[in-house]
Amino acid sequence: MSRVNVKGRKTRMFVFLCIAVFIVAFTASVLIKVSYRSPEFKKYSVEWSDKIGTAYTDISYGEKAANKFDLYVPADNTKDAYGLVAYIHAGGFTTGDKSDDKAMLEWLCSKGYVAVGINYTLRDDAHPDASVYSQSMEIKSSIPAVVAEAEKLGYKLDRMAISGGSAGGTLAMLYAYRDAADSPIPVKMLFEAVGPSSFYPEDWSVYGLDQNHEAAAGLFGIMAGTKITADMFGTDAYEEAIKPISGYMWVTESSVPTVCAYGVYDKVCPFDSAKHLIKALEDNNVTHTYIELPHSGHALQNDDSLYLKYMQSVEEYLDTYMAN
């Protein structure tokens, strides 16, 4: 066997291990997050009943099996128009489901919004060509169907917010910053937590990608859905290849108000990748609230007061930018 083949096999194995670590770390962080929340967060959950609203599940928006959404509509259907809040599920782009965010969607609906959780094709053995880019395009294609379904149920939508956590945060960023101009209704704000916004080897050192550019090229190429080689790093060609999935690259002076939160000790979405987003928001004078949790990892689990501040900021932004 040639040295080239051995090297290629090692690189592919390294990429596989990076993805496996990402999934395991994400799953563990979710378990921690559920277990450690204080009673102060009770206000962000509701006892769901038909007095609050109705949930319509597994509505199709495309031809792929995963192209489905759950729509939550408020019991009060007397308003002339409603705001839509889309929440995109987490899962490292390889796992997760819209039902994971049932509590969040119920809370949003209880505040009078039409809320939607959207599934997208996950990258797995059955879908080896799925990428962050293809997932973002599925999310983009879902919104017109969501708007149409809501109107069919008697809820005219005239504004929206988009949101998500981790992988869902990345996909929400891409819609808010990259695709808002094509939205069937105006995008008014974004809120997201721990979503990767940039893909540079030096920012992903937790996976050793700063020391192995061939592995970085393999992993980021999978995410972008395009061929990336190690010699592209630091060139305009790399910037062009990675831009379609890099939320921070789409931030402009006209970008929507944003609430975001990141943990300094995040080993899943490396904290360094967040710095590009915050700088872009600051440089472009975008209205935003950035909450940094100094003792927390991906689950934002060790700074309850600051995570509470994140949720309070989300509520304040919703009241301000999503008002009738």
| Residue range 174-223, pLDDT digits in tens | 999 999 999 999 999 999 999 999 999 999 998 999 999 999 999 999 99
Of the listed ranges 19-28, 172-181, 217-226, 273-282, the least confidently predicted one is 19-28
Tell me, what's the pLDDT at 32? 37
pLDDT above 50: residue 26:
no
CA 189 from chain center: how many Å? 14
Query: How far apart are the C-alpha atoms of 253 and 158, rounded to whole Å?
Result: 23
262 contacts 292 by C-beta, under 8 angstroms:
yes
pLDDT above 60: residue 37:
no
pLDDT above 60: residue 296:
yes
209 contacts 116 by C-beta, under 8 angstroms:
no
Q: How many CA atoms lie within 13 A of 202 on its CB side?
A: 4
Nearest to 274 by CA among 212, 221, 197: 197
pLDDT in tens, 98-145: 999 999 999 999 999 999 999 999 999 999 999 999 999 999 999 999
DSSP β-ladder status, 68-74 and 288-293: unpaired
pLDDT above 90: residue 81:
yes
Between 3.40.50.1820, 1.25.40.340, 3.40.50.300, 2.60.120.10, what CATH number should domain 3-321 receive?
A: 3.40.50.1820
Rounded (10°) angle between helices 213-224 and 3-35: 60
Structural domain boundaries of the chain? 3-321
Tell me, what's the pLDDT at 39? 75
pLDDT above 70: residue 36:
no
